[in-house]
Structure 1
Amino acid sequence: MRAGAFRAVSRAAVALCVAGALVASAARAQAAGKGWELDALSVPAAHNISKGDGVTVAVIDSGIRRDHPVLDGRASEGPDFLGENDQKESWYGSHGTSMASHVLDVAPKAKVLGLRAIRDREDPDYQTWEESMARPNPQTAHAVRNAIRYAADHGARVISISLGTEDPFTPYDEGEAQAIQYALSKGVVVVASAGNDGDAQNLVAYPVGYPGVIGVAASTPSGGRAYFSTVHSYVDVAAPGVDIWGADVKSKGRVSEQGSSPAGALTAGVAALIVAKYPKLAPRQVADILQSTASHPDRHDPKTGYGVVNAAKALRAAGKVKAQPYVLPVNAEGAGGHFGPGDDGTPRRVGQPIDVAVLVVAVVLGLVALGMILGGVLLVRGGRRARRRSPGPLAAGTPPPQW
């Protein structure tokens, strides 16, 4: 199997947000702006400064339903990077439509560009991890990287990515890393969800793990980490991720959900507020502003980064920052960066196959297992020698053996 195809299918099978965002069984209507998440992000106060006017946010996901009432005509859709024609299916765009609604709840005057790069679980072509091993689909191998480049070339100022792979075998994709650098080089802010594997293996995830990406953890109403949110050093900030009300394609209303998916989309909305008001700020400057105005800006931890985003504080701080765009050369592969003064401050993570903590545990367990095997072999061999040397019952009149 090609690594790229396996990785793409892995996104559909263990997609950290598509499979991990848990949607409540019962739907109930709730007006936009009434959820606790908007108050927690200080969005009402931020709307006195910016509502995201004129900014396009690309939502790279499972597609969107443009006619959903919650989106209210504020969304369009680009190419389907899976190369399919499923828009009329009842399940189409379930996750992506919800993510678009979160962006627009925060930035109501923004526009969403939906780009389909993964499948919803209800899709008949959706594959589990085991199925992807047996029936790889190379068509999806480069969907995410192609969608990122398309967004950068078609007017997006913010890219929201509530998906990812938590696969220890093929986590890093050089092509995707280059696509993100290409977007950054064009002044596009890239936001990605941290993942929902924090209470399990807590593996390194991508695209959130690529340099230059703003990584967002899921937080609770108290501001702490949601129990499922992935814990890693690349987590920059946190945003509400529990009991979040997003657009539902079945009921045409809203349902409650949880996961780092909505946390990432909400933060992308905050980035849109900043970019709309201060369009000359570089992506790195937007990231710095979000971090420096979060709930604990002087203390970073891998659970929630610098804390919960505060949209109003971020906008006020952005007004005091002198825009200093710094564009690095972009080669044919798309390498380069647009991080503000200097580079993005993050070392390249080429070929990082597995989380260091997981690797250490695996090595320790392997050594223990090896020791047990060697001990068992020595015991067996020792027992055999003892049996060879132990005299059996001697027949009457037989002389004892000579050692």
Structure 2
Amino acid sequence: MRARAFRAVSRTAVALGVAGALVAVAAPVHAAGKGWELDALSVPAAHDLSEGDGITVAVIDTGIRTNHPVLAGRATEGPDFLSENDKKESWYGGHGTSMASNVLDVAPKAKVLGLRAIRDREDPDYQTWEQSLANPNPQSAHALRNAIRYAADSGARVISLSLGTENAFTPYDEEEAKAIQYALAKGVVVIASAGNDGDGENLVAYPVGYPGVIGVAASTPSGGRADFSTVHSYVDVAAPGVDIWGADIKSKGRVSEQGSSQAGALTAGVTALILAKYPKLAPRQVGDLLQRTASHPQRHDPKTGYGVVDAAKALRAAGKVKPAPYVMPVNAKGAGAHFGPGDDGTPRRVGQPLDVLLLVFAGVFGLFAAGMIIGGLLLLRSGRRARRRLASPPVAGMPPRQW
């Protein structure tokens, strides 16, 4: 299954399978921290407790320009799981570099490990989901699952996935689900963006839809859902996703972007803050902390989950949680036995809302079937009437029917 970077797009762009980041005028490098997103996440207050020291966040994306001034030497790159040699291309790592900067804006003393598993849209070899189905290269088809396992084995404590598929017939990939469970079982918190199809067909997306993944929607300055953010029951929390300052590979500075990609990366940064201070917390415990300290912890909704993440509140609450061993058992098949204390591996919320296209197809087929049934009943009824007429005695003065 091929994933793609999540970016905010219009309805028309979704229908055509074409997307582009929405950007404003480039800003100088020193603009970091001047955006609204850090205050909305209470990051300045959280920095009194943690800045992410000693935590590695694996950003599985389109690659990273590690020499970008905004990253300031805090990012490295691992293997290219697409097995390509594109680092010298002008378009290389555009989305991934931006995501790395969002992580580091929240957790400035963390380290980012970049792992390339998808292509930038400017890449001449970029493929849509439909095209990737016919890709005979198993290295490309399995890039995401391989990158997840590599991150888990390389010391990352957080995996940031600002990518995913959005298609009415997107398959549930069992091997990707196992790779995520493998990471969770080793104590790695997996963060994934909810998707940008909320103003379109609102389709189910993966990997955010897999059990154990913390799903993040995009929010606005008012705390509500950004109109493009996908709405589903697997959304756990929300984070700023509009007018976010991210690293730009063209200007070497920053630009304003929007999407659930940014929301996911920012939440990965908050997770790094928590684990730097309390490294023994299990993935499920971190997820619970983010949820019960968010803006509306008593009320879950599929638009923003339990609300906008509050980094400072989550850190204060984490000090009251009894740490649990974060290394969970990994069975012979490489899958984890469970994700954390009190979790038997079953997601707390099962079942997703029906996708629009699937609902339409079901309705059409349902109407067709109902029409066939009604037609059959009418034919049966007319046949009975005909038999009754034939069985009736002829009327006086009229000849019998002839066949």
Q: Taking structure 2 as the reference length, what is the TM-score of the superposition?
A: 0.86
Which runs of structure 2 are paired with 1:3-402 in the superposition (5 Å)? Answer: 7-8=1-2, 11-12=3-4, 15-17=5-7, 22-24=21-23, 26-29=25-28, 31-129=31-129, 131-132=131-132, 137-325=137-325, 328-337=328-337, 339-343=339-343, 346-347=346-347, 356-358=354-356, 359-371=358-370
* Corresponding position of 1:394: none
**Kindly tell me: are residues 226 and 132 of structure 1, through their superposed partners in 2, closer, same or farther at Cα, counting changes over 3 Å?**
same
Cα drift, residue 142 of structure 1: 0.7
- 3-state DSSP of counterpart to 2:336: coil
Cα drift, residue 284 of structure 1: 0.7
The C-alpha deviation readout for 1:281-318, integer Å capped at 9, x for no partner, is: 11111111000100000000111000000000000000
Q: Aligned AA for 1:262?
A: Q
Partners of 2:233 and 2:349 within 8 A in 1: no
Tell me the distance in 2 between the aligned counterparts of 1:299 and 1:355: 18
Tell me the distance in 1 between the aligned counterparts of 2:120 and 2:401: 79
Q: Aligned AA for 2:354?
A: V
The C-alpha deviation readout for 1:114-160, integer Å capped at 9, x for no partner, is: 00000000001012345446665443111001001100111101110
Partners of 1:192 and 1:207 within 8 A in 2: yes
Q: Aligned AA for 1:362?
A: F
**Kindly tell me: are residues 156 and 132 of structure 1, through their superposed partners in 2, closer, same or farther at Cα, counting changes over 3 Å?**
closer
Partners of 2:219 and 2:240 within 8 A in 1: yes
The C-alpha deviation readout for 1:195-245, integer Å capped at 9, x for no partner, is: 111111212111111111110000000000011111111110000001111
Tell me the distance in 2 between the aligned counterparts of 1:171 and 1:228: 22
**Kindly tell me: are residues 54 and 196 of structure 1, through their superposed partners in 2, closer, same or farther at Cα, counting changes over 3 Å?**
same
- 3-state DSSP of counterpart to 2:51: coil
Tell me the distance in 2 between the aligned counterparts of 1:135 and 1:43: 42
Tell me the distance in 1 between the aligned counterparts of 2:362 and 2:287: 36
Structure 2 residue ranges without an equivalent (≥5): 9-17, 379-398
Tell me the distance in 2 between the aligned counterparts of 1:47 and 1:20: 35
**Kindly tell me: are residues 196 and 278 of structure 1, through their superposed partners in 2, closer, same or farther at Cα, counting changes over 3 Å?**
same
Partners of 1:160 and 1:192 within 8 A in 2: yes
Q: Aligned AA for 1:154?
A: S
Cα drift, residue 100 of structure 1: 0.1
**Kindly tell me: are residues 131 and 360 of structure 1, through their superposed partners in 2, closer, same or farther at Cα, counting changes over 3 Å?**
closer
**Kindly tell me: are residues 207 and 134 of structure 1, through their superposed partners in 2, closer, same or farther at Cα, counting changes over 3 Å?**
closer
Structure 1 residue ranges without an equivalent (≥5): 1-6, 380-399
**Kindly tell me: are residues 317 and 134 of structure 1, through their superposed partners in 2, closer, same or farther at Cα, counting changes over 3 Å?**
closer
Q: Aligned AA for 2:210?
A: Y
- 3-state DSSP of counterpart to 1:289: helix
Tell me the distance in 1 between the aligned counterparts of 2:343 and 2:101: 33
RMSD: 2.8
Cα drift, residue 83 of structure 1: 0.2
Partners of 1:282 and 1:325 within 8 A in 2: yes
Cα drift, residue 249 of structure 1: 0.5
Tell me the distance in 2 between the aligned counterparts of 1:153 and 1:118: 20
Tell me the distance in 1 between the aligned counterparts of 2:263 and 2:162: 9
Q: Taking structure 1 as the reference length, what is the TM-score of the superposition?
A: 0.86
Q: Aligned AA for 1:16?
A: F
Report how many residues are paired. Answer: 376
**Kindly tell me: are residues 198 and 45 of structure 1, through their superposed partners in 2, closer, same or farther at Cα, counting changes over 3 Å?**
same
Tell me the distance in 2 between the aligned counterparts of 1:344 and 1:41: 31
Cα drift, residue 188 of structure 1: 0.7
Q: Aligned AA for 1:363?
A: A
- 3-state DSSP of counterpart to 1:119: coil
Q: Aligned AA for 2:166?
A: E
- 3-state DSSP of counterpart to 2:165: coil
**Kindly tell me: are residues 187 and 376 of structure 1, through their superposed partners in 2, closer, same or farther at Cα, counting changes over 3 Å?**
same
Tell me the distance in 2 between the aligned counterparts of 1:135 and 1:182: 26
Q: Aligned AA for 1:23?
A: L
Partners of 1:284 and 1:338 within 8 A in 2: no
**Kindly tell me: are residues 134 and 255 of structure 1, through their superposed partners in 2, closer, same or farther at Cα, counting changes over 3 Å?**
same
The C-alpha deviation readout for 1:47-97, integer Å capped at 9, x for no partner, is: 010000111000000000000000000000000000001111110000000
